[in-house]
Amino acid sequence: MLSHKRICLFSPIAFICTGVCIGISLCTATLCGEPIESAAPQTVGMSATKLRLVTPALQQLVDQQRLAGTTALILRRGKLVYFKSFGLRDVAQQLPMKNDTILRFYSMSKPITSVAAMMLVEQGKIKLSDDIAKYAPQFKQLKVFNGFNSDEITTTKLKRPVTIRDLMRHTSGFTYGFFGNTAIDQQYNALDVLSRQNTLTESMNILGTIPLLYQPGERFNYSVSTDVLGYIVERVSGVDLATFFGKHIFRPLGMVDTAFHVAPQAKGRFASVYSAKLFGGITLSEAAVGSPFLQRPRLYSGGGGLVSTAMDYARFCQMLLNQGTFNGTRLLTAATVAEMTKNQLPPQAYPMGIIIPRPGIGFGLGFSVVVESVNTNLPRRIGEYGWSGMASTHFWISQKDDLAVVVLSQHLPYTPQLEMAIRPLIYEAIDTGANK
């Protein structure tokens, strides 16, 4: 296992694979574990000609000032076939986006927290069917929103307990506060449930006083569920999330830049966040300098607190593609990964959706999952799984294609334009390459 005192050294190396430029930052094998080996696309069943089109597609987003900068990384059959960055991580200082730029991953933290919880399931310390109140007594007196009597909220009893499975598939009945405007969402906002000034315990104490928006299992509702899950990981393991993630996930996988805050020695690699102007162009949303992510938080948010890099997250993805193992270290069994990455939503909660339903898309234990082929402008494989983050970060994995894609920006509010730009090109490169 890697020592927490070791330092990752990055060396920019440019690989030219039949016209596809892959700008790669590799950790030394001694300090960060074995790097992911690079390969020419045609050696892993992809068309280099088609894959080459990813570069102008991403460059165009930057040139048109739709995004300040972006990084894309593609793994195929365990090999790195594309890794390139575009644009700027800081517009004012004209600092380029690089392959080792550190970004806010927000909700792409959720799959990592879900993996941590499933490690405890495998150890027999928790069960998916367990009542969350068994580990978090703040939730013993939960009620469910039932309407109004005059101006007062009325509640009703839970038909069944909220389970750990509910947390992982977002059928708990919790909400978030910023996707809706219900009376319960308003309470989340008024009480600032996930304030960085709170400890996780303090946030859970507040959450336990607010009624659920829905009965458990009644519907998919994207929510603070994964933060509750992270709290349960802390309670059961006896250590905070930062310690658990570092010991059991980050160090075994060589994820050297992934944490709940940017390390002081790495702050020069941290990106600013941008937003779209009303009539075109971009404007600063949050500068890297002075960002809250430069300070260690009081609250370790399993739902949205991590910063990371493309390569770090790719190592996590490759572990999932390898059915729970990476570089000789097993984090989960293959059976557990299979369970996590299949649809877990009951019929009444399917399909998933945030604000609007997403036809054909279900949800597993920490990931969205493609269940059915539906008419869409974006090609998707049945069984494909992944997730995104609020600052327009994305990843998806297709076990069928032995493919993982990590494509990142720092843009608020969330926009799918990165995924829309490259998803068709990547699958065309696979389909064309497979037919040669």
Q: How far apart are CA 113 and CA 119, in angstroms?
A: 10
**Residue 44 pLDDT exceeds 80:** yes
Q: Stretch 264-281: mean pLDDT, rounded? A: 96
| φ, ψ of residue 83 in degrees (nearest 5) | -155, 105
In this prediction, residue 33 has a pLDDT band, given cuts at 50, 70 and 90, of low
DSSP labels for 141-193? Answer: T--EEEEEETTEEEEE--SS--BHHHHHHT-SS---SSS--SHHHHHHHHHTT
Tell me if 258 sits within 8 A of 312, measured CB to CB. Answer: yes
Question: Does a structural domain hold residue 24?
Answer: no
Q: How many CB atoms lie within 10 A of CB 298?
A: 13
Q: What DSSP element (H or E) covers 111?
A: helix 110-122
User: What is the pLDDT at residue 325?
Assistant: 98
Question: Does a structural domain hold residue 287?
Answer: yes
Question: Does a structural domain hold residue 8?
Answer: no
Question: Does a structural domain hold residue 409?
Answer: yes
Q: Where are the alpha helices (DSSP H) in 255-387?
A: 310-321, 334-340
Question: Does a structural domain hold residue 169?
Answer: yes
Query: What proportion of the chain, given as a percentage, has pLDDT over 90?
Result: 85
pLDDT digits (tens, 9 = 90+) for 296-324: 999 999 999 999 999 999 999 999 999 99
pLDDT digits (tens, 9 = 90+) for 104-130: 999 999 999 999 999 999 999 999 999
Q: How far apart are CA 170 and CA 17, in angstroms?
A: 42
Q: Which of 129, 386, 100 is nearest to 256 (CA)?
A: 100
Q: How far apart are CA 232 and CA 352, in angstroms?
A: 24
Q: What's the helix, strand, coil split of the chain in %, to 5? A: 35, 25, 45
User: What is the pLDDT at residue 378?
Assistant: 83
pTM (2 decimals)? 0.92
At 316, the amino acid letter reads F
Domain containing 364 — which CATH number?
Answer: 3.40.710.10
Decide: residue 322, CB within 10 A, 0-12 exposed, 13-18 middle, 19+ buried. middle
In this prediction, residue 20 has a pLDDT band, given cuts at 50, 70 and 90, of very low
pLDDT digits (tens, 9 = 90+) for 120-160: 999 999 999 999 999 999 999 999 999 988 888 999 999 99
**Residue 366 pLDDT exceeds 80:** yes
Question: Does a structural domain hold residue 22?
Answer: no
Decide: residue 399, CB within 10 A, 0-12 exposed, 13-18 middle, 19+ buried. middle
User: What is the pLDDT at residue 380?
Assistant: 93
Domain that holds residue 239: 61-258+269-434
Give the count of domains, the chain.
1
Question: Does a structural domain hold residue 56?
Answer: no
**Residue 164 pLDDT exceeds 60:** yes
In this prediction, residue 19 has a pLDDT band, given cuts at 50, 70 and 90, of very low
User: What is the pLDDT at residue 355?
Assistant: 84
Residues facing 282 on adjacent strands: 276
Q: Stretch 60-74: mean pLDDT, rounded? A: 98
Take residue 7 and report the two structure tokens written for it. 């330092």
User: What is the pLDDT at residue 150?
Assistant: 80
What distance lies between CA 22 and its chain's CA centroid?
Answer: 23
User: What is the pLDDT at residue 374?
Assistant: 84
User: What is the pLDDT at residue 179?
Assistant: 83
Question: Does a structural domain hold residue 179?
Answer: yes
The pairing of beta strand 393-398 with beta strand 356-357:
unpaired
User: What is the pLDDT at residue 356?
Assistant: 87
